[in-house]
């Protein structure tokens, strides 16, 4: 009986959230349908798929924010309709802005993430302005809701997966895509709606229900007070000691310290907000001391970031590191010296800075693009490589200037900005065109005394590639840092197949899939790296036979012929870049 009542209560919560967030439900349903079509179809996820999903995500965040604005500030039905209309128009505007993009790259994803973060923060913060709750309580309510919805969704998916596996094993065969369809329904549709059903309407709910929604559970209070706060305290001591011991030396050149300090400040701010209404001894001490510790630590991070601009210019990642640093300092000051009534400044500042970082002409990408192009142009002119909008390759220039040229040219190429540089070829490729363009190798700047490996291989252009025994061949650019490649469909044997490069960790794989999206054959790049790293460091020309690697099973075979490839290791991290011909032959069609 109790179980039945609990199920009815959960079901009512879900149906109430559909009525409360009808536009959000529509966008989530659209996203689920788009995913289902892709799963059921070829399994290919192209640019159009990504744009539609991003538009749905924008619509979800816009519509939920519009709803909390209606509930807290504009309760009239006509104003709700107006806010809903504005959310639809903004979602449509987002679609029109991104619909013609040739690829969904870093710029679109980061801009979108910044705007969605601002909307989500508004969704949390806005109810606390007029309701009788603090921002910390509203944040706790959201945190609990996210945790509970993800936990329940994970349990449901695990149960559905077990049932499908049992049916497939014991009764009759089930299409492997059923698992993807189940994940789509549970995580794209159910989980967000269940989360929204746990968020109270602060303007109409009774005080007991609101209190229950925003109170910190006992287990979370113990976790924060007795585990997270002590661990954060120990890490703080280690971090402060490191800064003190290295303040005149490696601190300013250490590439790991910047992200570490950013991560540390995020943890401190989140823990402070979660501990906002806790009154135990550990929580009180943390709230009193750590905001004051945060200020000097983040000031060091900002200074380290600014100093690195002199070496590599301003990139979008460093722009965000510096911008976030200013936000963290502001948060530290507010939490140290202002009362609870003023602490809404922190989420408001987060929203303003997030929007600031995403909208031209002061956004992270416009500013970093102009800075990188300007930095490269300045150093080229200084060394006589650029004159009258023409590049004259030159080998003998200072190593420091070479390093600046390498870093800026790499960034410009990686971000697709070459077309915006009048004196650089529109199709400039950093890996294949750098030395010919500037007159020296990009790896002339490497300090070989440091503990690292560098290997560069190029297939001899005098050797022909043997394609006998294979049906199809594709040219694939691959990288450990991303650049996922998806081929168009290939008719092999009696079926349709897709070739892809899938980056993973510090490497990746060349993968052949059938039309259902199931893997037919793959070749792990690590197998290639292991053989290449046995050779001497430096640059080397290799034969077509040495550049060829094969993989085979009872369904297909694949040959990868490396045209060029670079492997380097910095600080224990392996990076790979290259280009290869991938030849495939299917033996049997499924």
Give pLDDT tens digits along the chain (590 positions): 555 555 565 667 688 888 999 999 999 999 999 998 888 775 455 668 889 999 999 999 999 999 999 998 898 999 999 999 999 999 999 999 988 877 777 888 889 999 999 999 999 999 888 877 888 888 998 999 999 999 999 999 999 999 999 998 888 888 888 898 999 999 999 999 999 998 888 887 777 788 888 888 888 888 888 899 899 889 888 888 877 776 766 555 555 667 777 888 888 898 888 888 888 888 888 889 888 988 988 888 888 788 777 667 888 888 998 999 999 999 999 999 988 888 889 999 999 999 999 988 899 999 999 999 999 999 999 898 888 888 888 888 888 888 888 888 888 888 888 888 888 887 788 777 888 888 888 766 655 444 456 778 888 878 888 888 888 888 888 887 655 566 667 777 778 888 888 887 667 888 888 887 788 888 888 878 877 766 666 677 888 888 898 888 888 889 999 988 888 766 456 778 888 899 998 886 54
Task: Answer yes or no: do 60 and 119 share one domain.
Answer: yes
Burial of 520 (0-12, 13-18, 19+ CB in 10 A): buried
Same structural domain for residues 244 and 332?
yes
Would you say 167 and 175 are in contact if contact means Cβ atoms under 8 Å apart?
Answer: no
Is 371 in the same domain as 299?
no
Q: Are residues 326 and 370 in the same domain?
A: no
Cα–Cα distance for residue pair 590/568, rounded to 1 Å: 40
Between CA 256 and CA 253 the distance in angstroms is 9
How far does CA 353 lie from the centroid of its chain? 19
Same domain assignment for residues 322 and 419: no
Q: Give the count of beta carbons closer than 10 Å to the beta carbon of residue 96.
A: 10
Using CA atoms, how far residue 381 sits from 309, 377, 407, 423, in Å, is 19, 6, 16, 12
Q: Identify the pLDDT of residue 451.
A: 42
Please count the structural domains in the chain: 4
Q: Which of 214, 233, 258 delimits the end of a domain?
A: 214
Residues 44/487, Cβ–Cβ less than 8 Å: no
Q: So what's the pLDDT on residue 445?
A: 61
| C-alpha span between 498 and 512 (Å, rounded) | 6
Same domain, residue pair 483 and 582: yes
Same domain, 77 and 165: yes
Same domain, 331 and 373: no
Indicate whether 51 belongs to any domain.
Answer: yes
Residues 339 and 351 occupy one common structural domain: yes
The answer to whether residues 305 and 317 touch, using CB atoms and an 8 Å cutoff, is: no
447 part of a folded domain: no
Taking every pair of Cα atoms in the chain, the longest distance, rounded to a whole number of angstroms, is 84
In a domain, 444, yes or no: no
Q: Specify if 248 maps to a domain.
A: yes
- Domain final position from 331, 359, 387: 359
Q: Read off φ and ψ for residue 381, nearest 5 degrees.
A: -65, -45
Closest CA to 118 of 153, 90, 76: 90
d(CA 357, CA 366): 10
Please report whether residue 276 resides in a domain. Answer: yes
Residue 111 phi/psi, 5° resolution?
A: -60, -45
Q: What is the pLDDT of residue 282?
A: 85
80 and 204 fall within a common domain: yes
User: Parallel, antiparallel, or unpaired: how do β-strands 573-586 and 548-552 relate?
Assistant: unpaired
Residue 196 confidence (pLDDT): 93
Residue with tokens 């936000």: 327
On whether residue 443 sits in a domain, the answer given is no
CA 387 to chain centre: 39
Write the Ramachandran bin of 571: left for phi over 0, alpha for psi from -120 to 50, otherwise beta: left
In a domain, 318, yes or no: yes
Q: Name the domain boundary from 438, 463, 495.
A: 438
Nearby residues of 193 by Cβ (< 8 Å), 6 or more positions away? 14, 17, 18, 21, 25, 28
Query: Same structural domain for residues 196 and 251?
Result: no
pLDDT of residue 450: 45
DSSP codes joined into one string, 260-298: HHHHHHHHHHHHHHHTTT--SHHHHHHHHHHHHHHHHHH
The sign of the torsion formed by the CA atoms of 560, 564, 568, 574 equals negative
Cis status, amide bond into 288, omega within 30 of 0: no
Residue 498: the pLDDT is 85
Residue 577 located in a structural domain: yes
pLDDT score for 302 = 86
Nearest residue to 474 (alpha-carbon basis) of 402, 413, 561: 561
CA distance 176 to 165: 10
Q: What SS3 class is residue 360?
A: coil
494 lies in which domain range?
454-586
The CA-CA-CA angle for residues 518, 35, 64, to 5°, reads 150
∠ CA 543-484-33, rounded to 5°? 150
Q: How far apart are CA 99 and CA 93, in angstroms?
A: 10
Q: Are 261 and 300 in contact (CB under 8 A)?
A: yes
Q: Which of 14, 331, 385 is nearest to 197 (CA)?
A: 14
Q: Cα 506–509–513 angle (5° rounding)?
A: 150
For the purposes of burial, counting CB atoms within 10 Å of the CB of 1, is it exposed (0-12), middle (13-18) or buried (19 or more)? exposed
Q: Are residues 397 and 473 in the same domain?
A: no
């Amino acid at each position: 009986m109790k179980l039945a009542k609990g199920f009815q209560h959960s079901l009512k919560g879900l149906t109430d959230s559909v009525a409360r967030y009808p536009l959000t439900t529509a966008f989530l349903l659209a996203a689920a349908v788009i995913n289902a079509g892709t799963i059921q179809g070829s399994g290919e996820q192209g640019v159009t798929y990504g744009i539609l999903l991003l538009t749905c995500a924008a619509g979800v965040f816009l519509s939920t924010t519009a709803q909390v604005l209606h509930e807290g500030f504009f309760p009239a039905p006509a104003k709700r309709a107006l806010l809903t209309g504005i959310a639809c128009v903004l979602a449509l505007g987002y679609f029109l802005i991104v619909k013609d993009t040739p690829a969904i790259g870093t710029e679109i994803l980061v801009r979108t993430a910044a705007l969605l973060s601002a909307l989500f923060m508004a969704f949390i913060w806005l109810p606390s302005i007029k309701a009788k709750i603090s921002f910390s309580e509203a944040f706790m309510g959201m945190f609990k809701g996210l945790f509970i919805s993800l936990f329940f969704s994970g349990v449901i998916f695990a149960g559905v997966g077990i049932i499908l596996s049992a049916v497939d094993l014991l009764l009759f065969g089930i299409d492997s895509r059923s698992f993807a369809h189940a994940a789509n329904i549970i995580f794209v549709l159910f989980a967000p709606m269940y989360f929204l059903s746990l968020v109270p309407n602060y303007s109409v709910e009774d005080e007991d229900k609101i209190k229950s929604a925003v109170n910190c559970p006992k287990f979370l209070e113990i976790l924060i007070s007795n585990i997270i706060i002590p661990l954060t305290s120990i890490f703080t001591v280690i971090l402060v000691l490191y800064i003190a011991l290295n303040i005149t030396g490696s601190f300013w050149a250490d590439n790991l310290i910047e992200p570490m300090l950013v991560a540390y400040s995020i943890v401190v701010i989140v823990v402070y907000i979660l501990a906002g209404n806790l009154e135990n001894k550990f929580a009180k001490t943390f709230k009193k001391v750590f905001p004051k510790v945060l200020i000097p630590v983040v000031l060091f991070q900002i200074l380290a970031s600014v100093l690195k601009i002199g070496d590599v210019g301003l990139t979008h990642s460093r722009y965000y590191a510096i911008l976030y640093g200013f936000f963290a300092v502001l948060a530290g000051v507010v939490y140290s010296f202002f009362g609870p009534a003023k602490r809404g400044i922190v989420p408001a500042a987060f929203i303003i800075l997030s929007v600031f970082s995403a909208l031209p002409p002061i956004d992270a990408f416009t500013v970093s693009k102009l800075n990188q192009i300007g930095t490269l142009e300045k150093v080229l002119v200084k060394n006589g490589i650029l004159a009258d909008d023409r590049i004259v390759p030159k080998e003998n220039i200072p190593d420091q200037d070479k390093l600046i040229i390498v870093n800026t040219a790499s960034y410009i190429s990686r971000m697709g900005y070459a077309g915006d540089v009048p004196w650089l070829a529109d199709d400039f490729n950093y890996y294949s065109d750098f030395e010919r363009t500037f007159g020296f190798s990009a790896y002339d700047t490497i300090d070989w005394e440091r503990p690292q490996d560098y290997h560069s291989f190029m297939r001899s252009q005098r050797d022909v590639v043997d394609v006998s025994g294979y049906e199809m061949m594709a040219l694939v650019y691959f990288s450990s840092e991303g650049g996922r490649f998806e081929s168009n469909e290939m008719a092999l044997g009696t079926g349709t197949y897709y070739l892809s490069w899938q980056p993973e960790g510090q490497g990746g794989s060349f993968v052949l899939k059938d039309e259902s999206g199931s893997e037919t054959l793959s070749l792990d790049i690590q197998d290639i790296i292991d053989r290449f790293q046995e050779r001497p460091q430096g640059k080397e020309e290799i034969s077509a036979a040495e550049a060829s690697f094969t993989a085979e099973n009872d369904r297909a075979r694949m040959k990868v012929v490396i045209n060029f490839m670079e492997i380097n290791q910095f600080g224990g991290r392996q990076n790979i870049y290259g280009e290869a011909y991938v030849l495939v032959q299917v033996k049997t069609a499924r």
